[in-house]
Chains A and B, each alone.
Chain A
């Protein structure tokens, strides 16, 4: 019984990460809007004295599983996953795109924006990994 339950959970996690891999990350504005839309009522009702920052809101809502709407739980999960992915991509981008930058953006004046601009402009030739990480980072 327990085994079966765990299997289902693992499957759900796998399904979730598979979707996450192909889906585009959402913007921070979209993330904020989605939390407000799907969780606004639950927040006002169950976590009115909790601020959104530092994971406090997520922790508060998570601590009330039976009371928070399924839509809120699902969408907040999506938001957390998307934000984590975008944040990781922003950190990884410069490493993953290093070779492409060296090859295609030689004369670029130092500066993150210039380099990223070059990599995006040269997207026809830069590696798929670099293009993907820039997409996930929200930079193209």
Chain B
């Protein structure tokens, strides 16, 4: 079995490598799709970090009490990055990942362990729909994003420095015209640039 054959099957990986339009909302991405989606750093890609996004989400809540009518400016930077969207099932109002999503977590890990993606850093972004308060959603989505990152770097052995996590609550709705729609409840993974492994 050659490496290229393996890559052909790795759809998750593919998705993580190519700068693509947001909202590949399939639930079951193959390894190749994930790799493809996450591959490559977009030209002139903006610098994005979990800390900056967290601050912007907090500002978004502080500034504007209504549900955002459009995707806010600060997530426009994210739209330019190589990315994939996955659905992870959590227990209700909890950051506990349900067993049915362990395989999806493993698929993401397989992609991040793929040689093509070894040199990149990734951002796990958790999003909720607009049910509940914005502050609560921000907190829950951060806890959920953290749980995913924690599973990736411990259970699935992704190097700790390769993954950051941030929750954006309902501040970056996928479908602002239907704020309670299921499509808004999603996890996005972005390739945020180079990562140098400690020797």
Which A residues lie at the B interface, using CB under 8 A? 27-33, 35-36, 39-40, 43-44, 48-55, 57, 83, 86-87, 90, 111-113, 116-117, 120-121, 138-140
Cβ proximity bits B1-39 to A, threshold 8 Å, 1 near / 0 not:
111001000000000000000000000000100000000
Q: Hey, which chain A residues are within 8 Å of B104, CB to CB?
A: 29, 32
Contact B147 A27 (CB under 8 A): no
Q: Are B102 and A35 in contact (CB under 8 A)?
A: yes
Selected from B6, B91, B147, the residue in CB contact (under 8 A) with A53 is B147
Say if the beta carbon of B138 comes within 8 Å of chain A. no
* Candidates B115, B150, B156; contact of A28 at CB < 8 Å: B156
**How many residues of chain B get a CB closer than 8 Å to chain A's CBs?**
35
Q: Does B166 contact A (CB under 8 A)?
A: no
| Nearest CB of chain A from residue B152's CB, rounded to whole Å | 8
> How far, in Å, is A103 (CB) from chain B's closest CB?
19
Which interface residue of B118, B152, B154, B156 has the most chain A CB atoms within 10 A? Answer: B156
Cβ of A52 and Cβ of B106 under 8 Å apart?
A: no
Closest 6 CB pairs of A and B: A32-B106, A32-B102, A53-B150, A29-B106, A28-B106, A53-B151
Given contacts A28-B109, A111-B119, A138-B113, contact A40 B99 (CB under 8 A): yes
Cβ–Cβ contact A28 & B99, under 8 A: no
Cβ-neighbour of B105 out of A49, A50, A52, A83 (below 8 A): A52
- Minimum CB–CB distance from B110 to chain A (whole Å) comes to 5
Q: List 10 A-B contacts (CB under 8 A).
A: A28-B107, A28-B157, A29-B31, A29-B103, A29-B106, A30-B106, A31-B156, A83-B156, A112-B119, A139-B3
Q: Is B73 in the interface zone, CB < 8 Å from A? A: no
Given contacts A49-B96, A51-B151, A140-B6, contact A32 B157 (CB under 8 A): no
The distance in angstroms between the C-alpha atoms of A50 and B2, with both chains bound, is 39
Cβ-defined contact, A117 with B109, below 8 A:
no
- Chain A residues contacting B6 (CB-CB under 8 Å) are 140
Alpha-carbon distance A54/B150, docked complex (angstroms): 7
Contact with A along B85-119 (1 / 0, CB 8 A): 00000010011110110111111011001111011
Q: Is B147's CB under 8 angstroms from A121's CB?
A: no
Q: For residue A80, which residue of chain B has the nearest CB?
A: B155
Do the beta carbons of B103 and A51 come within 8 Å of each other?
no
B118 touches A113 (CB 8 A): yes
In this complex, what residue of A is CB-closest to B115? A113
Contacts of B155 in A (CB 8 A): 52-55, 57, 83
Using A120-B3, A121-B2 as known contacts, say yes or no to A48 and B157 having CB atoms under 8 A apart.
no
CB distance from B138 to the nearest CB of A (A): 20
Assess the B99–A39 pair: CB atoms within 8 A.
Answer: yes
List residues of chain B with CB within 8 A of the CB of A44: 99
A138 to B118, CA, bound (A): 13
Given contacts A51-B150, A83-B156, contact A139 B115 (CB under 8 A): yes
B136–chain A nearest beta-carbon distance, Å: 19
Given contacts A51-B96, A55-B154, A112-B115, 18 further A-B contacts (CB under 8 A): A28-B107, A28-B109, A28-B113, A28-B157, A29-B103, A31-B156, A32-B102, A32-B104, A33-B103, A36-B99, A48-B91, A49-B94, A51-B95, A53-B153, A53-B155, A112-B119, A113-B114, A138-B110
